[in-house]
Structure 1
């Protein structure tokens, strides 16, 4: 009875001291798992412990590994595309219209402090840095009113290395953790940055200077609560992608070398002198090398008595394609990208399967857009732009100081997802609008457009067509159920 009671409670009686069994198989210490003994670092230590190595390898893979490079490029093109466009939703219609015009026509092209990209190019490069290096810092550069810029503010991208993750210390009630200073309340107060990139040679580049947190945007995707630095988002794919790429190169080299040799000429009996002369020309061989016969298309060698040709077996490699597919599936899953998009292999994929794959992929993209890129990056850029434009007098708002939040209201329009079936998808969208389950404004916003811009364009098109006596098959005003 005692044995059954103890056994039912998770104890073993085998002559050894009683030890409780693991409640979960993953916590067992059997032969299969005894070598699996990971540490338990905190969120910051886990991120910065091997940060330099992971970041360097990720960047190297982005330069030299085609699969990693294509995965990062594909993700950035879907998350940012041609740009995530802001549309002001300020209660003052005149203010909103002027803010949109100022952004589109003047500020966007001059947003980069380094003068290389426009505002949307900065977004794309920032997201690429987040994927490849785990994080990026954006310095908000306030300019003078006489700077010549359309709005006295610009933005400068700063790589992760320029904020040293090894810089940690504590003084008073303040603490510096991985290059980020926190005040007594645990809020970010300053970022400690090198004046120049530490891997570039420049005078005074290794001097550390504090930059107020209000002037820095830190763009990264935290994986754990309390994490203060980002880790490369390619980390799970790096080893498999590298090993797979090296295997593929070795296989290609093997087949390339094998393709140069068709077969061998053998004979039943021979002596050492046979290897000193070419079997076709009879010329002496230089350096005592083995005789070689070059075969041209449509020819066949004439053999000497006793000689025969043995052709090498064809290189089958029947399972090579399936092996490649399975390995690329693992790389694609590690990167969070459908295999078909990473490899370009669309075999055996019909429209229903493709729609299911893209719908799931779009959920991941939209999650990154609305949880990381828009709140961390886009919103901070827009707020700095509006603040600077108002202070410089480019935008007029008398009650801005007391009603700032309302004037900063903004809708963000990611680039639209193209229809897989234009006719079917458009018909479904029209049915939702007619049934009151959606609106023209919402439908236009999902496609990356502003319904007011569409209405103005339709009005201008209609007036121009009527003035010119033109008639078209569509009417933007009359709506029928036909």
Structure 2
């Protein structure tokens, strides 16, 4: 066996392989992959070097591309819905009840710009993360007596307002992509922001102001450790979505133009007198303008003259167009991490069992974003700012808040509940889990976005009201317990 054969099989001679060995096909420099030479940029450089272009294209696609717009809107409606709502888990019951009431009072006046309530801010922040890669929320502390439930509000700041091109080295700190870090600890200390959006008509100054990191919520989903800024979550879908949209538009124009022509007229030979008539309509030409008396319309048939023959165009069925559309939309949907059926609205090839499996997988992904990014980054920070302001303003009182703050700001977050896909089967399944001891009413209610104590109170009120009016409904917990007592041992 020759040396080349031995070397190709991984044998080492005199301590060195005769030819470079490649343990992974993806590292091959052969004919197939020699043109694949990606850079090795770090987590922040990879983002900020192309952020302006990708972000601008993503925003343009969200405005003008129906598939991208629908995908973003669908994601936001599933991740936030009508709001991710909190309930205090403070060990002090009176404090917890007061905190819940204060939050409910605060929700309508949460927006510093006075446009949205707190749940609208959550939805817009998540939309900004999907569309531009990130959203900043500035915690605005107000003066006591400002007229709000608590002296704090939230202002959403778009990604462009924190310049990713702002870098600076200082004695004790460094500014990277608009974010200032302590050199010793590596902690974020400040965010550098324009007073207004740099591309807005109202912008009159390009002055940068530092905002303490404690007063800024930076909502984004990092893909690599140490990543400072967020990248638009549409990035993998943008190229295909744009090409597909242009193709679809071109196909529509082609069919629209083709619809104007039904056929052609053939003649063995033309004479000079023939040119006095419009070849499409057979009508005389207006010699003063050279235009036909009758304009062409879709489905027009030319009038035949002696010696003429007509040939009709074949119907344009667009063979394979539907399958091609479906395949391209599947690629766009996969780039978004969403089911094709939700991006396209096409439910023609799924039944309820397949749809259930599709939605279960999609909802697992949504829940990952809810519990790993949106709730800890955004929702909890908002809640803590409100509770802190409530304590400082004297709206909330508990003796050990300063020493036991973590316990008092602990929160049970309830995302907007998923609708039952099959209400009867799903409800029966939950009842079986509860009766079998594998679940609780409290957990089932929380999964539906409700508080079991609120449900019990509502049931008590309903039961008392029905009893006072002499009414009996099919479900009466008190009556059922009286008629079906627990078996004695």
Please classify the TM superposition score into its range, dividing by the shorter chain length.
over 0.9
Tell me whether 239-248 or 24-33 shows the greater mean CA deviation: 24-33
The answer on 1:307 being equivalent to 2:308 is yes
- CA, structure 1 residues 285+359, in 2 after alignment: closer, same or farther (shift >3 Å)? farther
The answer on 1:418 being equivalent to 2:385 is no
The answer on 1:149 being equivalent to 2:148 is yes
The answer on 1:449 being equivalent to 2:459 is no
Superposed displacement of residue 376, structure 1: 0.1
The answer on 1:259 being equivalent to 2:241 is no
SS at match of 2:477: coil
State whether residues 261 and 298 of structure 2, in contact with CA within 8 Å, keep that contact through their aligned partners in structure 1.
Answer: no
Return the TM-score normalized by structure 1.
0.94
State whether residues 277 and 284 of structure 1, in contact with CA within 8 Å, keep that contact through their aligned partners in structure 2.
Answer: no
Provide, for residues 55-99 of structure 1, a one-character-per-residue CA deviation record: whole Å limited to 9, x for no partner.
Answer: 000000000000000000000000000000000111111111111
Superposed displacement of residue 205, structure 1: 2.8
Alignment partners' CA distance in 1, 2:302 and 2:55: 58
Query: What's 2:88 paired with?
Result: 88
State whether residues 275 and 291 of structure 1, in contact with CA within 8 Å, keep that contact through their aligned partners in structure 2.
Answer: no
- CA, structure 1 residues 317+169, in 2 after alignment: closer, same or farther (shift >3 Å)? same
SS at match of 1:83: coil
Query: What's 2:385 paired with?
Result: 384
Provide, for residues 101-142 of structure 1, a one-character-per-residue CA deviation record: whole Å limited to 9, x for no partner.
Answer: 1111x1000000000000000000000000000001000001
Q: Aligned ranges for residues 114-133 of structure 1 at < 5 Å?
A: 114-133=113-132
State whether residues 195 and 204 of structure 1, in contact with CA within 8 Å, keep that contact through their aligned partners in structure 2.
Answer: no
Superposed displacement of residue 271, structure 1: 2.1
Provide, for residues 270-326 of structure 1, a one-character-per-residue CA deviation record: whole Å limited to 9, x for no partner.
Answer: 2243122246444555655689886898x9766322111111111121210110000
Q: Aligned ranges for residues 205-244 of structure 1 at < 5 Å?
A: 205-244=205-244
Query: What's 2:331 paired with?
Result: 330
Query: What's 2:50 paired with?
Result: 50
Residue ranges of structure 1 left out of the alignment (5+ in a row): none
SS at match of 1:26: helix
State whether residues 375 and 413 of structure 2, in contact with CA within 8 Å, keep that contact through their aligned partners in structure 1.
Answer: yes
- CA, structure 1 residues 470+55, in 2 after alignment: closer, same or farther (shift >3 Å)? same
Alignment partners' CA distance in 1, 2:51 and 2:220: 14
Q: Aligned ranges for residues 303-382 of structure 1 at < 5 Å?
A: 303-382=304-383
Superposed displacement of residue 159, structure 1: 0.5
Provide, for residues 212-245 of structure 1, a one-character-per-residue CA deviation record: whole Å limited to 9, x for no partner.
Answer: 1000000000000000100000000000000000
State whether residues 10 and 21 of structure 2, in contact with CA within 8 Å, keep that contact through their aligned partners in structure 1.
Answer: no
Alignment partners' CA distance in 2, 1:302 and 1:58: 52
State whether residues 260 and 298 of structure 2, in contact with CA within 8 Å, keep that contact through their aligned partners in structure 1.
Answer: no
Residue ranges of structure 2 left out of the alignment (5+ in a row): none
Superposed displacement of residue 199, structure 1: 1.0
- CA, structure 1 residues 283+154, in 2 after alignment: closer, same or farther (shift >3 Å)? closer
State whether residues 192 and 211 of structure 2, in contact with CA within 8 Å, keep that contact through their aligned partners in structure 1.
Answer: yes
Return the TM-score normalized by structure 2.
0.93
Q: Aligned ranges for residues 5-24 of structure 1 at < 5 Å?
A: 5-9=6-10, 18-24=18-24
Alignment partners' CA distance in 1, 2:12 and 2:317: 55
The answer on 1:175 being equivalent to 2:179 is no
Alignment partners' CA distance in 2, 1:369 and 1:332: 20
- CA, structure 1 residues 285+351, in 2 after alignment: closer, same or farther (shift >3 Å)? farther
Alignment partners' CA distance in 2, 1:293 and 1:277: 13
Provide, for residues 342-396 of structure 1, a one-character-per-residue CA deviation record: whole Å limited to 9, x for no partner.
Answer: 1010012001100010000001100000000000000000000000001101111
Alignment partners' CA distance in 1, 2:213 and 2:301: 78
Alignment partners' CA distance in 1, 2:113 and 2:296: 59
SS at match of 1:411: strand
Count of aligned pairs between the two proteins = 475
- CA, structure 1 residues 285+27, in 2 after alignment: closer, same or farther (shift >3 Å)? farther
Alignment partners' CA distance in 2, 1:253 and 1:203: 40
Alignment partners' CA distance in 1, 2:225 and 2:284: 80
Query: What's 2:410 paired with?
Result: 409
State whether residues 221 and 230 of structure 1, in contact with CA within 8 Å, keep that contact through their aligned partners in structure 2.
Answer: yes
